[in-house]
Amino acid sequence: MTDTTDHPFFDRRTHGFVRVATATPRVRTADVAGNVAGILDEWRKAGRAGADLVLYPELCISSYALDDLHLQAALLEAVERGIADLVEASRDLAPVAVVGAPLRRNGRVYNCALAIAGGRVLGAVPKSFLPNYREFYEKRWFSHGRGCIGLAIGLNGESVPFGTDLLFEAPERPGFTFAMEVCEDVWAPDPPSTRAALAGATIVLNLSASNITIGKSDERHMLCRMQSSRAVCAYAYSAAGHGESTTDLAWDGQGMIYELGDLLVESSRFDLEPELCLADVDTRRILGDRMRMQTFGDAAEAAGRPEDTFRRVRFDAPSAPAPDDRLLRPIRRFPFVPNRAHKLDEDCYEAFNIQVDALLRRFQATRGKHMILGVSGGLDSTHALLVAAKVCDRLGLPRTTIRGYTMPGFGTSEGTKSNAWKLMEATGIAAEEIDIRPAARRMLEDIGHPFADGEPVYDTTFENVQAGLRTDYLFRLAGQHSGFVLGTGDLSELALGWCTYGVGDQMSHYAVNAGVPKTLIQYLIRWATRTDQFDRATDAVLEAIVDTEISPELVPVGEDGEIQSTENAIGPYELNDFFLHHTIRWGQSPSHVAFLAWHAWRDAGEGLWPAGFPEAAKNEYDLPTIAHWLERFLQRFFAFSQFKRSALPNGPKVSAGGALSPRGDWRAPSDAVAGPWLEELRRALPPAA
């Protein structure tokens, strides 16, 4: 399988992506012809970069800082001629261009956003809110657009849709629907883009001038991020840059694109040269979130169903083959792992303490004397023990309140058993060992299992006898010591059904790890060692545990010395957690998940890794590998393991990415089939995958 192909799977447009560009063109005060040339330069660059939509700053045709020149007939006539030049050029340019210009209508001048494509002006949207405070005097020159509904404007002999009730959509590209607002509009308590989004716009474009002052860049980020999140949309912003008049103000040319509160890309600022900033917006992600967020639908109803009154202007989206197969957006390889470098410790602290606080409250509510925990020397029980230790510390209780038991079975290695003992000793809990092998042999003998007669049969029954005995011992110990069993199973195992149902590791009195996937547990343990959450002795054994192969250790080591590997059976946890996040949080189709996974994992040298991630653990996967494990994931998640999740003990939700409690994020029948998901994936993938 090569990384380039003509198959539709590899075209981002197949999956609902729209490439948006923010442009900071060359501009010179009142130089309309020069400004038009600068706009065209960036338009052509955007076309070569595969953009579908290119956004320019406010009043970019005339320039913004003109003061009373906005009311000069010669300038306004030059602007109209410049628009005609852009319309003519648009016949040979693929992207839709959104530019700013002062336009005359019925004896008034409006500060407008214009959409141009395919040899026509698609529509003009007037600015609703005109700043007239501090350094701004826009009401001196412009009329506001509030109330301009259902109108048209004459422009170079053509009648063009005009008003604040316009949406622009590409019918052959479902989800590619955009709206426009101008600068101050997003500073308003009720931005016009809110109604536009409620009417159906997935992408909102803001043409801005916005002079720069200290701290204003942060303010713009705050507003764009908030509006993209609140209006459940992508929000692109382009501010005027170098070349505007500096008589009394300065300009930084800031461009940015947000999607559902996530920053996709931002420009550098104060550049002397024109700049183009590109990102691929996921319209399916936006529409999927709207479907799940009933508040959005309720808001549309409360606003009087704007979709019934907004006019929709249709245009032909670019249809030529995409110039490359890159996806221009950050894709988190580990979507459950905190990735904000400047707030990394804060995010990890929060994730860890969600569990600590939840367990603390449950322990207080039970009025028990002990927390009972099986300690295997693996990741999950280690993390659960760390959480329990912090509970004891916060309550001022001795850590011997935790009773830890290591219970070696037929496949337990000396390494994990040793790590279990080192961990219990380092954390200072009450520690004991119970060898379950005699009881397991007796049970296997009682049920007539071939292993009891010396045959090397290591089937599911052989494994579940051991897993069940461990849980049985823990529950009886909880009764004996007036405590409760602390569950160690994690979110990834629940997704895949990789747990023994009932009398097994699926059951406990409180499932403290149920909202935490394997990749986050690995990272939180590393974070605990880096930030000295415990002492050096504990840190040393934690590092050893994180570096150990993930294994249930229920089957004896083979003649080749290889231990039982979980990931060989169910797939790499880093891929499974990726699949899980995009399936439960966004409800994305399997082919969409595969497309994102291919871009995230195909090249270990591209993209960002979590801070402090070990070099040796930076893996990459080709599309056939991704497709193989995604099929396995879909089969296990949709058709196999729901009955285990339906009987899930209580446990806290930790990540906004979702949880699988039947009382919370995820509700599904236990007897569904995976057919629709598997068929969608197989139908969309290229044959070689």
Least confident of 437-451, 494-508, 550-564, 618-632: 550-564
- Alpha-carbon span 517 to 120, nearest angstrom: 51
b/e burial code for range 322-353 (CB count within 10 A of at least 16 → b):
beeeebbbebbbbbbbbbeeeebeeebbebbe
pLDDT band at 111 (very low <50, low <70, confident <90, very high): very high
Locate the DSSP E strands across 444-529: 483-487, 510-511
- For the stretch 181-236, pLDDT in tens is 999 999 999 999 999 999 999 999 999 998 899 999 999 999 999 999 999 999 99
- Alpha-carbon span 8 to 113, nearest angstrom: 34
Query: Is 434's pLDDT higher than 90?
Result: yes
Query: Is 46's pLDDT higher than 90?
Result: yes
- Alpha-carbon span 600 to 585, nearest angstrom: 17
Least confident of 285-294, 327-336, 585-594, 606-615: 606-615
H-only helix segments in 367-459: 379-395, 414-427, 437-446
Partners of 405 in the β-ladder: 374, 432
pLDDT at 2: 43
Provide the 10 A C-beta neighbour count for residue 604: 14
- Report the SS3 class of residue 147: coil
pLDDT band at 322 (very low <50, low <70, confident <90, very high): low
510 contacts 486 by C-beta, under 8 angstroms: yes
Query: Is 321's pLDDT higher than 70?
Result: no
The identity of residue 481, as a single letter, is H
580 contacts 637 by C-beta, under 8 angstroms: yes
Residue 111's closest CA among 93, 125, 96, 97?
125
pLDDT band at 272 (very low <50, low <70, confident <90, very high): confident
pLDDT at 320: 66
Query: Is 674's pLDDT higher than 60?
Result: yes
pLDDT at 591: 98
The residue ranking higher by pLDDT, 612 or 56, is 56
Mean pLDDT of the 541-560 span: 82
Mind telling me the catalytic residues?
58, 127, 183
Mean pLDDT of the 452-462 span: 95
Query: Is 318's pLDDT higher than 80?
Result: no
- For the stretch 367-391, pLDDT in tens is 989 999 999 999 999 999 999 999 9
- Alpha-carbon span 424 to 404, nearest angstrom: 7
Least confident of 105-109, 327-331, 341-345, 479-483: 341-345
375 is written with which tokens?
């300690």
Of the chain, the percentage scoring pLDDT greater than 70 comes to 98
Residue 201's closest CA among 180, 178, 231, 228?
178
The identity of residue 168, as a single letter, is F
Mean pLDDT of the 262-291 span: 95
The per-residue pLDDT of the chain, averaged, comes to 94
H-only helix segments in 561-637: 566-570, 573-584, 590-601, 623-634
Least confident of 20-34, 242-256, 355-369: 242-256
- For the stretch 117-168, pLDDT in tens is 999 999 999 999 999 999 889 999 999 999 999 999 999 999 999 999 999 9
Strand order of the β-sheet with 108-117 is: 151-155, 158-162, 120-126, 108-117, 96-105, 53-55, 17-24, 275-282
Query: Is 559's pLDDT higher than 60?
Result: no
- For the stretch 618-644, pLDDT in tens is 999 999 999 999 999 999 999 999 999
- Alpha-carbon span 205 to 20, nearest angstrom: 10
- Alpha-carbon span 166 to 474, nearest angstrom: 64
pLDDT band at 3 (very low <50, low <70, confident <90, very high): very low
Least confident of 495-509, 530-544, 546-560: 546-560
The CA-based angle 102-103-104, given to 5 degrees, is 130
H-only helix segments in 517-617: 518-530, 536-546, 566-570, 573-584, 590-601
Query: Is 258's pLDDT higher than 90?
Result: yes
- Alpha-carbon span 611 to 341, nearest angstrom: 7
The identity of residue 644, as a single letter, is K
Partners of 511 in the β-ladder: 487
pLDDT at 239: 96
pLDDT band at 592 (very low <50, low <70, confident <90, very high): very high
Crossing angle between the packed helical segments 294-302 and 283-292, to the nearest 10 degrees: 80
Residue 204's closest CA among 188, 183, 189?
183
pLDDT at 477: 98
111 contacts 138 by C-beta, under 8 angstroms: yes
